[in-house]
Structure 1
Amino acid sequence: MYLIKPLSSHVANQIAAGEVVQRPSSVVKELLENAIDSGADVIELRLKKGGKQEIHIVDNGSGIYAEDIELAFTRHATSKIQKAEDLFKLTTNGFRGEALASIAAISEVELRTNTNSEPSGYLFRIAGNESDKPVECVCKKGSSLRIKNLFFNIPARRNFLKSDQVEYKHCLEEFTRIALLHAEISFKFFHNDQLIFDLQPENRRGRIQHLISKKINAQLIPIQEVTDAVEVDGFIVKPEFAKKTRGQQYFFVNNRFTRSPYLHKAVVDAFEGLLLRESIPGYFIELRVPSDKVDVNIHPTKSEVKFEENHLIFTYLKTAIKHALGQYGVHSSLEFDLDPNLLPSYKTITTDVKETPQIKVNSNFNPFSKASTTEIKANRELYVQEESFSSISFVEDEVQGELAYEKVNFELYTDQHLHWSNKYIVVVDGNGELLVIDQYRAHQRIIYESMLKKITLEKGGSQSLLFPVVIKYDIHDLTRFKEIEGHLIEMGFVFETKSDHEIELQSVPNFYPIAKCEVLFEDLIKALEENDEQNAQLSFADITAKTISKHMAIRGGESLNFEARKKIITDLNQCKEQLLSPFNKKIYIRISQNEISKKMF
């Protein structure tokens, strides 16, 4: 009896589809790249319901010959390479011969194509493992591929797709990457029959403006360096315009979009000292490396590359960016704009010696006597470095693992406390132990639990703004904002879309300050992206409450009067969780009498 059997082509294609096609944006990427490889200079992309219902791409490329149509939908059939050596001198986007077979395995595909060398075009339909023979039809030169009902035969995979808005965002991102790289090609992009982009051939800078934002032109710094190992070309965004959210980070290697945390670190290192906390530098950088020095056959999506001289590329890239920043007068304030108050006062330095130093020697000292040995030992103990209270710190990594829940009745000690360094509140408990409370983390916990209750239970009350606030977004930020708009409306925010790039904020919840709304939205988008990347599956209410607590909490270093400190202690006493902040940091620590005694004697 044979237990091992070869899989059918249909099953094998479905397995391969799991690697190549993860969501509608994967199909958009593969088909756009095929259109470019066919020599098209006019490409049109149409989506319905974020690509889940339909993806339609039309190009004016070379088309497919009638005898090649069925072969094009079989695995590992391609016109782009012929032998293994070709992998090291690739000039096309695709080369694996998997895309069309993978797409056809999990969707309904309709192809119309015409090479213009034949009297008419051909129509071909395939869905799963069932296909018809190509038939003649009337169509323009090039190809038209219509992909319907993605994952129609794999319900489990279809259920894992996100909302239409989220899937549209991913498709928009793939389109942007390809349109940025190929500024010489004309693109049109429609979503639900609404025109999103109509791009004409232009230079790279113009394409960035039309795809990202018109105002970005003044924010760009050109970068161009040529070495034997790599050519660096493109633009970086001035550090003062860096955002907290990702979205303006684009690496292209040999005409291919690439994800590379290693190269991203080179950019971050080059911007060292120039960025605000948690800001991410923006860049649109193309690297050209000899084809025999880079391997793109790493992953089925072809979005990862491996360099033969990794460290050298890193160094050249970092140096090129620093050079560009220097040429345009951008420098670290830490290096060039020193605060004069931090400099030593040279006026106090004097060369006058008022008194000659005196050296006293004990002529009766005998190092071998018992008394002298005891004295030496005592002197050494004076310099033993013990842990002092100045070493107390709350700055540490998140608390991991299972934690013993601790409930303290802080309210008993509200009248017996002091403020330490405008950062800690110190109280004494009934056992004579000191509790050192971090005021920022304690206030975060108080606000978090209060906001969570308001968002999930109370849901209501909002105040209309006498002067509505207009918030401007580029197309990508607006798409991200639309993902959270519904949740924000439930909280009590009221918006009106004024244009393709403007949102008017008309009402805000009673519990939130108007001035911090725009920053809140930006941080919410960032937190949701991180939640998706880490697959943490936190609720929107939880993420929102955490983000609000971070913004509204009293910072360490802020002076508080007695009543304000007392209120923090009282409110913390009412919290369900007292030991940890919403971000799993310790709120307080204990110092026992025994610890104090050890340090005193």
Structure 2
Amino acid sequence: MADSIQLLPDHIANQIAAGEVIQRPASAVKELLENAVDAGASEIRLIVNDAGKSLIHVVDNGKGMSETDARLCFERHATSKIRQIEDLFHINTMGFRGEALASVAAVSQVELRTRRHSDEMGTYIEVENSEVLRQEPCASSPGTSIAMKNLFFNVPARRNFLKSNAAEMRHIIDEFIRVSMAFPQLFFSLSHNGQQVFHLEKGSLKQRIVQILGNSYNAKLVSVHEQTDYLNIQGFVGKPDAAKKTRGDQYLFVNNRFIRSAYLNHALMQAYHDLIPADSFPMYVLFIDLNPEHIDVNVHPTKQEIKFEDEKIVYAFVQAAVKHALAQFSITPTLEFDIDAGIQQSDAVSKPFTAAQQSAASNSDLFQTFSRANQAHFIEKGNSSTVSGTDQIPDGGLQNWKDFFEPALRSSTDNSSTEAQYDRSPGFDWEQPRKKWQLLEHGDLLQIQQQYIIAPSLPGFLLVNQQLAHERILYERYAAALVGKPMATQRSLFPVTLDLSPTDATLMTELLGDMGLLGYLIEPFGQNSFVVQGTPADVLQGNEKSSIEKLLDQYKHFSSDVKFSRRERLIRSLATQHAIRPGSQLSQREMRQLVSDLLSCAQPNITATGTATFIEFNHEYLARLFGN
């Protein structure tokens, strides 16, 4: 029999190795930008076409390469950073594995122009499928220009797995931001299809943060600066009111290298404990500098995961530094109370407390009881009376509640177990439970705490969460609009201009088509700007900008779940954003319409995320509660 083990050809081995490093256009962008930083460049320009699928071009004014180095840099494991094994534990550069350019050359067509400052002529090299096609001297500016064209042209299966241009562009912007955020002292620019997306002048870290994340952060940053013998921590964290529903604006760097660390992120979250809601995430841009001997950066191909020699001490330092910064700026939790709107209208609150009223109050027995010494043991003598439970009910109160419950209890003929669980599958016939949940035609609905609705039904009553119920209604309405008749658009009398960050602008471009079906009429208006010409009817005039900004934030929150399609994430975001908020006072007509619309839904008892929209209280369950 013939031998079955054989060596792979070089071009196949290179493509397999490239799969670890170059997973999408953004991966190549990261590697090329980091090489430009390591070359000592002060200006780095990134040009991409078709979200990097047809062109990724990086131009820098770094030290450049000699003719020999230019040829050798495309070989696997070729690097200027490592000479011996000990060098792995003293790495202060971005790249060091020697696989970046080899991986790029294995899956694209590459053109390299480079010249050292001391040379008169530069070097031009053309590589395709890991094979050098041409090498010759050329006229070139000092530094390096490398262009990779037609990514994955020789691996069609990999190219087919790439996402839409808008989605891939968002990944490229993310990588560009991570590198440019780490080096604010360098100039960076990014252009896509001939349009400039970023133009970042050299400056301080705070200036770079504001340039990238937007002017809204200018007054929301708290400086962090701690120096110890083991490590130094510096950067900025956001004030609690800058917290968002997504993790998007969180950047952690170790020795200027962007990393992901759930462990250190937990330290940050603990520093904000009780300062922000549990479902919100703080903004931070933090740099941790420590001896390279105390970390191992060679644990992941993309180098975004590292190992610390002592994770616990880093955790403690990070948490303490952020807490100290927040305390220094007197940022403390504020107490919030839910106050019934009716209380605000009462005479005791709205009318002044006159001098006569103050005198009468101070002379009252109640006031004297609480103001004299040993008041805890003082009992005012007087006529005592026995108050029965029924004496406390206002006139007509008992009868009103009896009228409210009795028709429902009399109509209850269902003797089935109250613990029956209804199948939530789409094919389930909801007609049977709907008959149980049918709303009574007569009898008022009752709103509690401006958040819940008590609705009389045939077997008893339903306790409805008005926000979750509205979410379910809107979700089904939007889902139907995407596959059937588009929703009506309410034209704005005065169109609103929306200025977004480059990341959000790219996301908005991706969503424009589907948002049009859902009633939004939004048109591009120059770089990173859009004009809102119309919105769905349930968006109040004047709230268009806030509504769309919150929608994008909510969409990014749902984007972390890969099992959802783009449309599913969009309609969930819209339903969550446009639903009635707790604290909204509803009229009888509005409450009845809301509950009726809910019970008409295809799946009325749960939201799209599986949360119950109402709780059913029938006669048997109520009797069991009271031991009858």
The verdict on how the C-alpha distance between 1:404 and 1:496 changes in structure 2, with shifts beyond 3 A counting, is closer
8 A contact 1:414–1:566 mirrored in 2: no
Matches within 5 A, 1:361-376: none
Matched ranges for 1:181-192 at <5 A: 181-192=182-193
After superposition, residues 88-487 of structure 1 pair within 5 angstroms as 88-214=89-215, 216-275=217-276, 278-334=279-335, 348=370, 351-352=374-375, 353-354=377-378, 406-407=430-431, 408-409=434-435, 410-411=437-438, 413-415=440-442, 419=446, 421-422=448-449, 423-429=452-458, 432=459, 435-459=462-486, 461-487=488-514
Measured in 2, the distance between the counterparts of 1:83 and 1:44 equals: 33
Kept in 2: contact 1:225–1:233 (CA 8 A): yes
How far did 1:308 drift? 1.8
Aligned residues: 551
1:547 is the counterpart of 2:576: no
SS in 2 for 1:467: strand
SS of 1:272's equivalent in the other structure is: coil
> Compared with structure 1, are the counterparts of its residues 232 and 400 closer, same or farther at alpha carbon in structure 2 (3 Å cutoff)?
farther
The separation in 1 between residues aligned to 2:5 and 2:40, in whole angstroms, is 44
- Which of residues 478, 481, 503 is equivalent to 2:530? 503
Give, in angstroms, the shift of residue 265 of structure 1.
2.3
Contact 1:244 / 1:523 at 8 angstroms: preserved in 2? no
Q: In the TM superposition, what is the alpha-carbon distance from 1:307 to its structure 2 partner?
A: 1.4
Q: Distance in 1 between matches of 2:203 and 2:623?
A: 76
- Residue number in structure 2 paired with 1:576: 602
Aligned residue identity for 1:34: N
TM-score (norm 1): 0.83
TM-score computed with the length of structure 2 as normaliser = 0.79
User: Matched residues in 2 for 1:401 and 1:576: separation?
Assistant: 11
1:71 positional shift = 2.8
Structure 2 runs not aligned, ≥5 long: 344-366, 381-422
Cα distance change on mapping 1:154 and 1:405 into 2, 3 Å? farther
Q: Are the counterparts in 2 of residues 244 and 522 from structure 1 also a CA contact under 8 Å?
A: no
Give, in angstroms, the shift of residue 255 of structure 1.
Answer: 1.5
| CA distance 1:403–1:317, shift in 2 (3 Å) | farther
**Change in 2 beyond 3 A, CA 1:221/1:534:** same
Q: 2:36 corresponds to which residue?
A: 35
Per-residue CA deviation, residues 288-327 of structure 1 (Å, 9 max, x unaligned), is 1221111111211111122122122122112111211222
In 2, Cα distance between equivalents of 1:4 and 1:589:
65
8 Å CA contact 2:36, 2:62 repeated in 1: yes
Cα distance in structure 1, aligned partners of 2:368 and 2:82: 72
CA change 1:50–1:34 in 2 (3 A) is same
Stretch moving more, 11-20 or 566-575: 566-575
Secondary structure class of the residue paired with 2:125? strand
Percent identity, aligned pairs only, is: 35
- Displacement of 1:562 in angstroms is 4.2
The question of whether the paired residues in 2 share the 8 Å contact of 1:581 and 1:587 is answered with yes
Q: Helix, strand or coil for the counterpart of 2:44? A: strand
Residue 487 of structure 1: CA displacement?
2.6
1:515-547 CA distance string (max 9 Å, x none): 54334423433444345432223242x433333
Say whether the 8 Å CA contact 2:550–2:577 is kept in structure 1: no
Cα displacement (A) at 1:231: 0.6
Distance 2:217 2:583 in 1: 37
Change in 2 beyond 3 A, CA 1:412/1:4: same
Residue identity in the other structure for 2:597: D
| Root mean square deviation, CA, Å | 3.2
Question: CA offset at residue 149 of structure 1?
Answer: 0.5
Alignment match, 2:398? none
Write out per-residue CA displacement over residues 23-68 of structure 1, whole angstroms, 9 at most, x where no aligned residue: 1111111011111112222222211122111111122223233233
- Is 1:427–1:436's contact at 8 Å kept on the other side of the alignment? no
2:554 and 2:577 in contact (8 A); partners too: no
Q: Deviations over 1:344-387 (max 9, x none)?
A: x998476143479xxxxxxxxxxxxxxxxxxxxxxxxxxxxxxx
Change (3 A) 1:97 1:128: same
* Matched residue, 2:362: none
Per-residue CA deviations over 1:137-181 (Å, capped at 9, x if unaligned) read: 222232211100111112222122223233222222222221221
Which residue number in structure 1 is paired with residue 541 of structure 2?
514
Structure 1 counterpart of 2:184, which letter?
Answer: A
Provide the C-alpha distance between the structure 2 equivalents of 1:290 and 1:413, rounded to a whole number of angstroms. 72
- Describe the SS at the equivalent of 2:442: coil
Q: Partners in 2 of 1:553 and 1:121 — Cα distance?
A: 62
| CA distance in structure 1 between the aligned counterparts of 2:462 and 2:188, rounded to whole angstroms | 64
Structure 1 contact 425–437 (Cα < 8 Å) conserved = yes
Structure 1 unaligned segments of length 5 or more: list them: 357-398
Deviates more, 1:225-234 or 1:136-145: 136-145
Q: Is the counterpart of residue 16 in structure 1 residue 17 in structure 2?
A: yes
The alpha carbon displacement at 1:443 in A equals: 2.7
Q: Is the 8 A contact 1:414 1:427 kept in 2?
A: no
Residues 19 and 300 of structure 1 are in contact (CA less than 8 Å); yes or no, is this contact kept in structure 2?
Answer: yes
The alpha-carbon deviation at position 437 of structure 1 amounts to 3.8
Counterpart-to-counterpart distance in 2, 1:78 and 1:555: 58
Compute the displacement of 1:81 (Å): 0.8
Retained in 2: the 8 A contact 1:64–1:114? yes
The alpha-carbon distance between structure 1 residues 552 and 480, as it changes in their structure 2 partners (threshold 3 A), is closer
Moved more, 473-482 or 145-154: 473-482
What is the CA–CA distance in structure 2 between the aligned matches of 1:238 and 1:192, rounded to whole Å?
Answer: 37
